Amino acid sequence: MSLIVCRDLVKTYHLGEMDVHALLGVSLTIDTGEFVAVMGASGSGKSTLMNILGCLDVPTAGTYTLEGTDVSTLGENRLAEIRNSKIGFVFQNFNLIPRTTALENVQLPLFYRGIPAHEQKALALRALERVGLADRQRHHPAQLSGGQQQRVAIARALVTDPSIILADEPTGNLDSQASREIMETLTQLNREGITIILVTHEAEIAGYARRAITPTEWPSRASSRRRCGHELSADDGGRGVPCPRAQSHALGADDAGDHHRGGGRDRDG
Ligand SMILES: Nc1ncnc2c1ncn2[C@@H]1O[C@H](COP(=O)(O)OP(=O)(O)O)[C@@H](O)[C@H]1O
Ligand SMILES: [Mg+2]
């Protein structure tokens, strides 16, 4: 059985009078244990796709089946359960809490689960060991290099023992040496059995993955249209699609700026 099966995913955002078509019918299949790079131009819907794959958001239309469960129609509580039990997130901006040690940053997801403090520490330390940073556990993010901060973020994603890691441009803010280290870390985790789905627009980074996919169904350009009259019927079917940004905030993940910039580009395009 495939781990992930997406069929004809459509995602439409409403911005005032505009409909922004972020995904226009993306289909893909990913098996357990794969290391896949999702490639596409800026604004093509990669982060939107990752939000859906990570159960942070639901599609406007189409289906998403994760380990045999159709998650495209689930409510927020069930989505959160699936997200918390199966998925670890890594973002371009690391999203670490500044005045907090590396160890405490990694402990955070366990704290939210009500795991006893001593257990939190032991698990967080083990996760830092897996990314080669046990000796930096007491450092604050500002006392770490960009690559080390991203490794702390990977440890935080790992600490809950996810079967899937979703990494959205994890090397986007790093120099090439740090990027290589991050990709080697992800490669090692994949060897240990974790399915890795990575977004990148760099061929060299995608080269670490065993397969690169470039959905042909990305919206090409000028995919926003005014919402007036019958021409635009695509909608969320009254499902009340939640804003991914609000949920990202809840997780400490914040690429809202990205979305806003993208929105501007789209309108102009
Ligand atoms: N929350 C949102 N509200 C409105 N538009 C959005 C939102 N998120 C993304 N978009 C728009 O959807 C398109 C795809 O965005 P995104 O998935 O962030 O692209 P990528 O990650 O490939 O750069 C862009 O035009 C962007 O402006
Ligand atoms: Mg993006």
pLDDT of residue 220: 64
Which residue of 24, 47, 243 sits with most ligand 1 atoms within 8 Å of its CB, as the best mutation to test the pocket? Answer: 47
For residue 121 the two structure tokens come to 């520490």
Categorize the per-residue pLDDT at 218 as very low, low, confident or very high, splitting at 50, 70 and 90: confident
- Encode pLDDT of 74-108 as tens digits: 999 999 999 999 999 999 999 999 999 999 999 99
Q: What number does the ligand 1 atom closest to the CA of 45 have?
A: 17
**Contact in structure between 156 and 106 (CB atoms under 8 Å):** yes
Report the percent of the chain where pLDDT is more than 90: 75
Residue 253 has pLDDT above 70, yes or no: no
pLDDT of residue 132: 96
Residue 103: half-sphere exposure toward Cβ, Cα within 13 Å: 15
pLDDT of residue 235: 33
SS3 state of residue 38: strand
Report how far ligand 2's centroid is from the alpha carbon of 49 (Å): 9
pLDDT of residue 73: 87
Which class is domain 4-268?
A: alpha beta
Residue 221 has pLDDT above 60, yes or no: no
**Cβ(266) – ligand 1 distance below 6 Å:** yes
Phi, psi of 69 (to 5 degrees): -100, 130
Question: For residue 26, how many other CB atoms are within 10 A of its CB?
Answer: 27
SS3 state of residue 147: helix
**Cβ(262) – ligand 1 distance below 6 Å:** yes
Report how far ligand 1's centroid is from the alpha carbon of 139 (Å): 34
**Cβ(12) – ligand 1 distance below 6 Å:** no
* Out of 53-57, 223-227, 250-254, least confident range: 250-254
pLDDT of residue 148: 98
Domain ranges of the chain: 4-268
pLDDT of residue 265: 35
